[in-house]
Structure 1
Amino acid sequence: MKRPRTLTAAFVRTINRPGVYGDGRGGRGLSLRVHRTKAGRISKTWRQRLRIEGRLTSVGLGPYPEITLAEARRKALDNSRAVRHGGDPRGHGVPTFAEAVERTIELHRDGWKAGGTVAEEWAATFRVHAVPLLDKPVDRITSADVLACLAPIWASKPAAARRAKRRFSAVFRWCVGKNLRPDDPVDRAVAALPRVNGYAPTHYRALPHREVAAAIRAIRGVRYIHPSAMPCVEMIALTAVRAGEARGARWSEIDVEAGVWTIPASRMKAGRELYVPLSTGALGVLERALALAPDSSLVFPSRTGAVLPRNAPGRVLRRAGVAATVHGFRSSARSWMAETGVPAEVAEACLAHVPRSLVVRAYQRSDLLERRAEVMQAWSEYVTHQQGAARSRFDPETGLGGRFGGISGNLRAAGSRQIDDLGSPKGRGRAENGGATEAAAVADE
């Protein structure tokens, strides 16, 4: 179809070729934007170019056919008159970047793990790397503004820069969806940045498994403002759980008699409940933790009774002179399992890794609790007593005879006061129903 000098109702209705079609001279900057969606559907929207306070600005007028050509022209005329009299047709509804950040975080919050720290991490990204943008209306932020925020960290802190890029872009996409600005300026900003060669994801520093025993001895000698932080780190080393899972542990999740720690799905990265077998070494750590805070519902509380700060385990390692990260203990345990012949599916289950293959998932209906208990008991003996050092291969026939014989009566007595009997239907129901409450404790991190 031949393009008319000014838009007509027939042209607007039938044009299906992507592009921008202006209303000609005297059209007050009105245009019809036609584009094809990812689903292959043709979408048409009205926009108007206006000069407001000396800056060219694109204002959304709504989609076609909801807004007809006549209605779009009427809106364009009203907007032009408002600008001519010093007004702003956008009204006071254009938020600052800081306000857009808050709304974007709220939009995604329900999809993030309950009790997690994702929202806090997003907020920290903008608080640290987007200071010049926070007070600006979102429609006045240019690619040069974004470039000024990303350039200082692009090469020196590539992981942080890429996180910032993704999060900046999420906020601007929200703005585009709300017709607050016409585009996402992040890609144009990145086009002006150099390529960082050799970038690779950061790997957690891990100790060789032969050095874990010495690290645990050093950790026990640390003096720190949060006394429960040391047994918390030792628990992480012995059970290979993630740091957040250990810091948020509650006595209601611990079944001493069965030797099982039940972490609710709300506190797990994979969103699935996990049963962690407790070795004799781990049970000993629990006994020491109970002595430090006998009246707390948290296993490893801070000195104020709240969940341990997120950085507390890492500070314990630094004070102990351990050149590794807390998360690295998981790698140490995994490498020991590989060297001692632990089957891969059992080793992955010990680390609560979700199998990627649907076929593998189908054949792993069980969480391999008994086999994991054997592996983690052998790991505990290896890193606490070095008894496992004499074995060249993991021996599944070793068994767990006498595993709970040395448990102190103090820890058993705590079962009647603080530790729910998760082995019973009544106790298990309490744990399941209280998952959301337990997860909320970690939100203080």
Structure 2
Amino acid sequence: MPKVARQLSDRAVAAIKTDGRHAVGGAPGLHLRVSAGHRGWVLRLMVGDKRRDIGLGAYPSVGLSEARDKAREIHAGLREGVDPVAPRKQQRMALAAQAATEKTFRWCMEEFLRAKAPEWSNPKHRQQWENTLETYAMPHLGHFNVSVIDLPHVLACLEPIWSTKNETASRLRGRIESILDWATVRKYRTGENPARWKGHLDKVLAAPSKIQKVEHHRAIPVEDLPRFMAYLRQREGIAARALEFVVLTAARSGEARGATWSEIDRQAAVWTVPAERMKASTEHRVPLSKAAMDLLHKLPRFEDTELLFPGTKGQPLSDMSMTAVMRRMNVDAVPHGFRSTFRDWVGEKTDYPRELAEQALAHTLESKVEAAYRRGDALEKRRQMMEEWAHFCAKSA
């Protein structure tokens, strides 16, 4: 055991300025350590066969009398077989373990988006998630530890917009639920998810179906389509030709605007849209009617782009370019509405089965059983249907 040094007074301790260890007495091994102007208490003692230095706090925050009391308490514990270092290690480990599991909602959101980003084919999906959560969730949840988030916190996000912006609120609820589920799996929280709908939020919030108004894309009636096509073919410009191609193929406007010459098999009269440009992330083959092929034959080829319908600087046309064509024609409809017109034509004017029209529109089958049995894409059957569609479009031309 270290010998007991002469006991220094408070005044003598306050006068110590020289760097190094200075024994202050009153308890074996108690020193005031001075280094670069910083002064703190250190207790040096033997624990078993090892010499240990234990910090007792900074001086003068911890005064001389308090430092001596701490040192004597440690010595008393050591005589009873208590390791003075072990509790401190255990406390540090407990604090480290607690810190590792204490994550804020914002941190969990960022980690969730980073982990799930590879699943999203469109980079805009992440931006949409971030924008919605940043606007409506972060003011209420961002700084909270996910372990304490409960129903009142979730309702604070949802209730202000549930009736006025229900579609946005419904998406927000699902996104909060996904992040909290992720946090539960990662052991950052326990218990049921306060953002779940069935059997929980459906008891305190109005059903979306009772609030949301379904707004369909404005479409041209089937009977008016031939006359519209006749007028459209009289208009010049890439946007008009792109719109004509959208009608003839029943494609989504984005698929047509992004179409390239390499996707067109002229010999087979087939347009193959790659999976990365399809909504369902599945490659889609489109049989091209004679009218569609004639349109492509007349299109100019541009050296600086592979796009069928390039806009300015070789970039794809904007969706507004085709909408603008329709507005100049005084037509109260949107480009996407032609898919509805095509679907109405199949149902009202032909005997083709519903499934064939759904394949032409590249819709994902709701029935998993039906989807499992659909092996091919009925390309040749669809070719005949699209040829009849093109004839109908030109009926009054």
Give the match for residue 159 of structure 1: 167
What is the CA–CA distance in structure 2 between the aligned matches of 1:328 and 1:81, rounded to whole Å?
A: 61
**How far has the Cα of 1:174 moved from its partner?**
1.4
Give matches, 1:34-45, under 5 Å: none
- Residue 206 of structure 1: SS of its match in structure 2? coil
**How far has the Cα of 1:278 moved from its partner?**
1.5
Give matches, 1:76-115, under 5 Å: 78=91, 89-90=98-99, 94-97=103-106, 99-112=107-120, 114-115=121-122
**How far has the Cα of 1:274 moved from its partner?**
2.2
**How far has the Cα of 1:170 moved from its partner?**
0.7
Give the match for residue 210 of structure 1: 223
- Residue 322 of structure 1: SS of its match in structure 2? coil
Q: In structure 2, do the counterparts of structure 1 residues 181 and 195 end up closer, same or farther at CA, with 3 Å as the change threshold? A: same
Give the match for residue 59 of structure 2: none
**How far has the Cα of 1:240 moved from its partner?**
0.8
CA contact (8 A) 2:352 2:385 kept: no
Per-residue CA distance 1:412-444 (angstroms, 9 max, x = gap) = xxxxxxxxxxxxxxxxxxxxxxxxxxxxxxxxx
**How far has the Cα of 1:340 moved from its partner?**
2.4
Give the match for residue 169 of structure 1: 177
Instruction: Specify which of 146, 149, 157 is matched with residue 157 of structure 2.
Output: 149
Give matches, 1:221-370, under 5 Å: 228-287=238-297, 289-290=299-300, 293-309=302-318, 313-314=322-323, 317-318=326-327, 320-344=329-353, 345-354=355-364, 356=367, 358=369, 362=373, 365-370=375-380
**How far has the Cα of 1:315 moved from its partner?**
5.5
CA contact (8 A) 1:138 1:175 kept: no
Q: In structure 2, do the counterparts of structure 1 residues 130 and 270 end up closer, same or farther at CA, with 3 Å as the change threshold? A: same
- Residue 90 of structure 1: SS of its match in structure 2? helix
Per-residue CA distance 1:309-328 (angstroms, 9 max, x = gap) = 46655565455543334332
**How far has the Cα of 1:358 moved from its partner?**
4.3
- Alignment-mate amino acid for residue 237 of structure 1: V
What is the CA–CA distance in structure 1 between the aligned matches of 2:230 and 2:154, rounded to whole Å?
A: 48
**How far has the Cα of 1:276 moved from its partner?**
0.8
What is the CA–CA distance in structure 1 between the aligned matches of 2:319 and 2:126, rounded to whole Å?
A: 14
- Alignment-mate amino acid for residue 285 of structure 2: Y
In the alignment, structure 1 segments of 5+ residues that lack a partner are 1-73, 388-445
**How far has the Cα of 1:193 moved from its partner?**
3.2
- Residue 293 of structure 2: SS of its match in structure 1? helix
- Alignment-mate amino acid for residue 309 of structure 2: F
What is the CA–CA distance in structure 2 between the aligned matches of 1:153 and 1:249, rounded to whole Å?
A: 39
Give the match for residue 193 of structure 1: 205
Bigger shift: residues 211-220 or 239-248 = 211-220
- Alignment-mate amino acid for residue 207 of structure 1: I
Bigger shift: residues 312-321 or 333-342 = 312-321
Q: In structure 2, do the counterparts of structure 1 residues 96 and 238 end up closer, same or farther at CA, with 3 Å as the change threshold? A: same
Give matches, 1:14-25, under 5 Å: none
CA contact (8 A) 1:247 1:308 kept: yes
Give matches, 1:420-435, under 5 Å: none
The count of residues paired between Structure 1 and Structure 2 equals: 303
What is the CA–CA distance in structure 2 between the aligned matches of 1:220 and 1:145, rounded to whole Å?
A: 56
Per-residue CA distance 1:247-301 (angstroms, 9 max, x = gap) = 321111012233211112333334433221122332344356535x453112233
- Residue 172 of structure 1: SS of its match in structure 2? helix
CA contact (8 A) 1:252 1:297 kept: yes
- TM-score, with structure 2 as normaliser: 0.62
- Residue 272 of structure 2: SS of its match in structure 1? strand
CA contact (8 A) 1:281 1:384 kept: no
Instruction: Specify which of 172, 181, 190 is matched with residue 189 of structure 2.
Output: 181
Is 1:125 the equivalent of 2:135?
no
What is the CA–CA distance in structure 2 between the aligned matches of 1:180 and 1:348, rounded to whole Å?
A: 44
Q: In structure 2, do the counterparts of structure 1 residues 273 and 342 end up closer, same or farther at CA, with 3 Å as the change threshold? A: farther
- Residue 99 of structure 2: SS of its match in structure 1? coil
What is the CA–CA distance in structure 1 between the aligned matches of 2:140 and 2:241, rounded to whole Å?
A: 43
Per-residue CA distance 1:220-257 (angstroms, 9 max, x = gap) = 7889xxx6444333322211112332232111101223
- Alignment-mate amino acid for residue 157 of structure 1: K
RMSD between aligned residues:
3.9
Q: In structure 2, do the counterparts of structure 1 residues 365 and 179 end up closer, same or farther at CA, with 3 Å as the change threshold? A: closer
- Alignment-mate amino acid for residue 176 of structure 2: F
Bigger shift: residues 169-178 or 269-278 = 269-278
**How far has the Cα of 1:171 moved from its partner?**
1.3
- Residue 381 of structure 2: SS of its match in structure 1? helix
Q: In structure 2, do the counterparts of structure 1 residues 290 and 154 end up closer, same or farther at CA, with 3 Å as the change threshold? A: farther
- Residue 367 of structure 1: SS of its match in structure 2? coil
What is the CA–CA distance in structure 2 between the aligned matches of 1:235 and 1:127, rounded to whole Å?
A: 39
Max Rg structure: 2
What is the CA–CA distance in structure 2 between the aligned matches of 1:300 and 1:110, rounded to whole Å?
A: 29
**How far has the Cα of 1:166 moved from its partner?**
0.8
What is the CA–CA distance in structure 2 between the aligned matches of 1:375 and 1:81, rounded to whole Å?
A: 70
What is the CA–CA distance in structure 2 between the aligned matches of 1:157 and 1:143, rounded to whole Å?
A: 20
What is the CA–CA distance in structure 2 between the aligned matches of 1:80 and 1:116, rounded to whole Å?
A: 40
**How far has the Cα of 1:333 moved from its partner?**
0.6
What is the CA–CA distance in structure 1 between the aligned matches of 2:161 and 2:235, rounded to whole Å?
A: 35
CA contact (8 A) 2:102 2:145 kept: no
- Alignment-mate amino acid for residue 301 of structure 1: P
- Residue 282 of structure 1: SS of its match in structure 2? helix
**How far has the Cα of 1:159 moved from its partner?**
2.2
- TM-score, with structure 1 as normaliser: 0.56
Q: In structure 2, do the counterparts of structure 1 residues 204 and 385 end up closer, same or farther at CA, with 3 Å as the change threshold? A: same
